[in-house]
Chain A
Amino acid sequence: MVEEADLIARAKNGDIQAYEKLVERHETLAFRTAYLITRDEHEAADAAQEGLVRAYRALGTFRPGAPFRPWLLRIVTNLALNRLQARRRRTNMTERYTRQVIVETGPLSIDGLVIQRDQRRRLLQAVGQLQPDQQALISLRYFLELPEAEVAAALGIPIGTVKSRLHRTLARLRQIIQADYPDLIELVTHG
């Protein structure tokens, strides 16, 4: 397999085929990141594609040796957030989100706590009540399970800020659950 650094170097010199191979390695994560933020398949495809094109044109500013994936995700995340922000002014997407990403698997067990399908749907609804940037944070850290350092790079903030914002976001999500989702209260209680 060709080294990523080699593909980046060739792409920097204008080798579009090399860049295409680079995109193939990251397109799924780029698309899913955009999808979790925009909650719309077509918007996500547009945001991811635009991000990949912009990333190519910005390769001249990419620092050799730096990890490519978080650098790319930062571009895609910003574009997806911009699209979400624009669309939120037009329509409330919360219900659409939970319908589209509704899970179809059976009950899951977490430390003896069974999370039913309906509970997962309700948890997604609760996440949908957070601010867009908070939803992006939850998506990157928990839904895509990216390390905190990569979340920090993707959002363009220090890792310490990721930790503090995660704490505040989870606290806010707990408030939402306590207020509006009594069936999920077990997720935010001790023991």
Chain B
Amino acid sequence: MVDQRDFEKLENALIETGRSIQYPPTPRLAGNVRQRLQTDRAAPPARSIFRSRRFVIGLAAILLAIALLLIPQTREVIAQLLGLRTIRIIETTPTPSTSPAPTMSPAPTPGVAPFRQCCPATLAEAQQRADFKLLLPPTEAPTQVFFQDQVFGRGSEPQQVVMIFGEPDRPRFVLYQAHFWLYEKLLTADSRVGRGTLITETQVSGQRALWLTGEPHLLVTLDRNGEPVIGWERPVNANTLIWETRDSSGEVTYRLETTLGLADAIEFAEALR
């Protein structure tokens, strides 16, 4: 029950109204479901996983990993679940012969790509519509703001606000602030999308954070069932700092794309209020 006394009468009225709703008779669902399951000759659910898309994708990933491990030149290592709570990172990274510097620049041509996805908004609109508090740097306003909450077709889904700092075509920073949103970084065997992204742990205001640098990677947005959202892939040819916070409204995930180094990214991140 919501605490505020303001709503006591309204809550009680809703409950009483609900109790007086006259529902239609419940149809014979159990029998219908049994008939349909028998007619469909559905496989027992314990075995249904073998037919699922997720299983097929998982099996393909395992076979790919085995195949990569069999190639001496690459000696891929499958690392998984390096991530934070709402970030999952599935990585196929060549074993380096020497340890690269943790702040290496992205290759081959670093640059934060212009943000091309949906829903431009004003900062005021985004602040009004967001379910969570949007963080801003103290001395700089974003040049562009994007508010996204209809990716899955309903208003009840997670929200994401993207702010561009600097020239829109050549942003200095792109800051994602996402409420209950899953990301996944896939490093594929495709030569265009990185096999050499380096992931290091760092901290933002004392909280665990990840710093992605090196070769370009692909940012994939997942829905709450863990499925990729089609059309929301974003190639990232820039350093990326990822961290999370938790407040009264839940978890917020931040991604900061920049061509600057780790120290500059952390300074920007820790100044956000």
Contacts and interface: CB of A to CB of B under 8 A. Distances in A.
B48 A60 contact: yes
Contact of A27 (B4, B18, B30): B30
Contacts of B190: none
Contact of B18 (A31, A110, A143): A143
Interface residues of B, number: 51
A160 interface: yes
Interface residues of A, number: 82
Interface in B166-192: 180
B45 A49 contact: no
B140 interface: no
Chain A interface mostly: helix
A31 B26 contact: yes
A164 B251 CA distance: 13
A19 B10 contact: no
A164 to B, nearest CB: 5
Nearest to A111: B12
Nearest to B153: A85
A175 B155 CA distance: 19
Given A81-B154, A133-B155, A101 B22 contact: yes
Given A16-B34, A142-B18, A167-B4, 12 more contacts: A13-B46, A14-B46, A19-B33, A31-B23, A32-B23, A60-B46, A82-B154, A85-B154, A102-B22, A143-B18, A157-B250, A188-B6
Interface of B: 1-2, 4-18, 20-24, 26-27, 29-34, 36-38, 42-49, 131, 153-156, 180, 224, 248-250
